[in-house]
Structure 1
Amino acid sequence: MEAVVILSRLEQEYLLRAIESGLRVASARQFFLWTQGQLQALLPHRVLACMRFAPGGALLRIECVHGTVLAPSALAALAGRRDGLALRIARHCMLGARLPALLDGGEQRGAGAPDGILRTFHAELDALGFDSVLVHGTGQTLEGASVFVLFGLPMRPSARHAHFLECLLPHLHLALMRLPQERQGTAPARALSARETEIVGWLREGKSNGEMGQILGISALTVKNHLQRIYRALGVSNRAHALARCMELRLLEA
C-alpha cells in the first residue's frame, strides 16, 4: 500500500493558490506567469517541459518554460521536437507505464526510481547540468495524452513531490489544452535593439537594474530608461509582463 501523504497547512495553501490561479490560464503569457509563480512556490524547478500527444502517440505540441536564459544548444537538446531529451523521457515513461517517475541525482542515483526507469538518461542530464527530474502525465485518453517533465529541482525529489505534481496534473493538462496552438500575440511595435534584447536576457536571469548596469558598463538609470523603452515596444507595464511577452513572441529564442 502506498504511503499516505499528509500536507502541511502551508503546503495546502500553496496548492490551493496554484489550483485557483491555474483556472484562469488561457494564454502563453498567463501560462508562463503561473508556472513561474504559484507552481514554483510548491514545486521549485529550473525548466518545465510540457508535451501533448495525439491518441496514436505523435507529438502535437511541446512547450519549454524556464525562468533563466538557456543556451540555444541546451534548449534544442531539451525541447527538440524530433529527439529532444524531454520528448524521449516522456515516451520512455509512457511506454513503461510508469508515471509518476522521478530521478534523484544525489548520493544514491535513482533512489526515487527503484526500477531504474530514468537511469538511462543519467549521462545526458549530467551534461546539461541537471541532477533531478520529476515526470508525470495523464496517461492515454480519447484525446491523447499530456506529459510534464520538471528538470533541476533544488531538493531531492520524493514521492511527496510526485504527489504535489499529481494534484496539479489535471490543471496543468487543461491549461495546456486551452493555450492557442499558434502564438496569437501581435508583433511588438518595433524590433528590440541588440542592447534591449541583452537587457531582457539579464532581466530573465533575475538581475536588478544596478547589477545589469555593472555587467553592461552603464548606469542603473540608463538601464531603467532602456526598460521603459522595452515596455513601450512590447505594450507592457512591468518586468514580469515584459518577460512573458518575450516568451510569447519567442524573442529570446531568436
Structure 2
Amino acid sequence: MVILSKLEQEYLLRTIESGMDLADLRQLFLWAQGPLQSLLPHEALLCMQVDGAGQVQRSECLHRRLLDAAALGLLHGELGPRLAQAWRGGRAQPAVLEAEEDGGPLAACRGLLLRSGFENALVVGSAPVEGAASVFVLLGLPFRPGERHGYFLQLLLPYLHMALLRLPATAHVRPGRMAPERALSAREVAILEQVREGRSNEEVAQSLGISALTVKNHLQRVYRVLGVANRAHAVARCLELRLL
C-alpha cells in the first residue's frame, strides 16, 4: 500500500485537476512539462495508442531536451512498440526498465533503452480494449523509479489516455489555428531547439556566438510568426506544427 505525504497529495491533485481537459498536443506538452514534471520528473514522455492485437497505431513523444532524429526514430520505431508488447504480455501493472539491470518483464528491451540514451523507463497502460488501449512511457527519470512512482503514473493514466484519444488523428493544429505566415529560418529553429532545453537567452547567445539581444530579437519575431506570447508557447506551437 502506498501512503502519500501531504506534499505528494497536493502535487497529485494539482496534476489531476490541470490534466482533466487536455485536448491537443500543445496542451499535453505544457501539462507534461509543468504539473507532471513536478510530480514525476522525466526527460521524455512516449504516448502510444495500440489496437486489439497490441500493434502501435499512433505514437507521440514529448521531450524536454533535444533528441536527434536517430533517437526519435528508435523511440517510435523500435523501443516504444517493444515496450508496449512486453508490458501488455505481463501483469498489466506499472513496470520499470533500467539500463544496468537484466531482470524484469521488460528486460528484452534493455539494449534498445541503452541505444536510446536513457537510463530508465517507467511503463503503464490501459486495459487491452480493442481500438482504444494505450501505453505510456516515462523515460529518463533522475532517480530509480519504483512502486511509488508507478502508482502515481497509474493514477494519472485515465487523463493521459483520454488526452491521447482527443488528439486529432491527422493534424495536431487545433481547429481555427492558421499555419505560420512564413517558414522559420534555420537560425530561429536553432534558437528554439535550445530554448526547449531550458537555456536562457544568454546561454543560447554564447552557444551560437551571437549577442543576447540578437537572441531576444529573434524570439520576438518568432512569437509574431507563430502567434504566441512567450517561450513555452513558442515551443509548444512548434511541436504542434512539427517544426521541431
- Show structure 1 runs of 4+ deviating over 6 A: none
Tell me the SS of whatever aligns to 1:5. Answer: coil
Q: Is the 8 A contact 1:56 1:144 kept in 2?
A: no
Report the Cα distance in structure 1 between the residues aligned to 2:80 and 2:10, rounded to whole angstroms: 30
Tell me the SS of whatever aligns to 1:92. Answer: helix
Residue matched to 2:193? 201
Residue matched to 2:12? 15
Residue matched to 1:183? 171
The percentage of aligned residue pairs carrying the same residue is 55
Q: Normalising by structure 2, what TM-score? A: 0.94
Shift of 1:142: 4.8
Shift of 1:184: 4.5
1:131 aligns with 2:119: yes
* AA aligned opposite 1:234: L
Shift of 1:99: 2.6
Q: Normalising by structure 1, what TM-score? A: 0.90
Tell me the SS of whatever aligns to 2:224. Answer: helix
Report the Cα distance in structure 1 between the residues aligned to 2:184 and 2:120, rounded to whole angstroms: 35
Shift of 1:205: 1.2
Report the Cα distance in structure 2 between the residues aligned to 1:234 and 1:97, rounded to whole angstroms: 45
2:85 paired residue among 83, 91, 94: 91
RMSD of aligned C-alpha atoms? 1.5
* AA aligned opposite 1:51: M
Tell me the SS of whatever aligns to 1:230. Answer: helix
After TM superposition, the structure 1 stretch with the greater mean CA deviation from structure 2, 212-221 or 138-147, is: 138-147
Report the Cα distance in structure 2 between the residues aligned to 1:63 and 1:189, rounded to whole angstroms: 26
Residue matched to 1:140? 128
Tell me the SS of whatever aligns to 2:45. Answer: strand
How many residues in Structure 1 have an aligned counterpart in Structure 2? 240
Shift of 1:95: 2.0
Report the Cα distance in structure 2 between the residues aligned to 1:142 and 1:69, rounded to whole angstroms: 34
What residue ranges of structure 1 are gaps of 5+ in the alignment? none
Report the Cα distance in structure 1 between the residues aligned to 2:111 and 2:49, rounded to whole angstroms: 26
Shift of 1:105: 4.1
Q: Is the 8 A contact 1:47 1:150 kept in 2?
A: yes
Deviations 1:48-73 (A, max 9, x none): 11011123433221111101110101
* AA aligned opposite 2:153: L
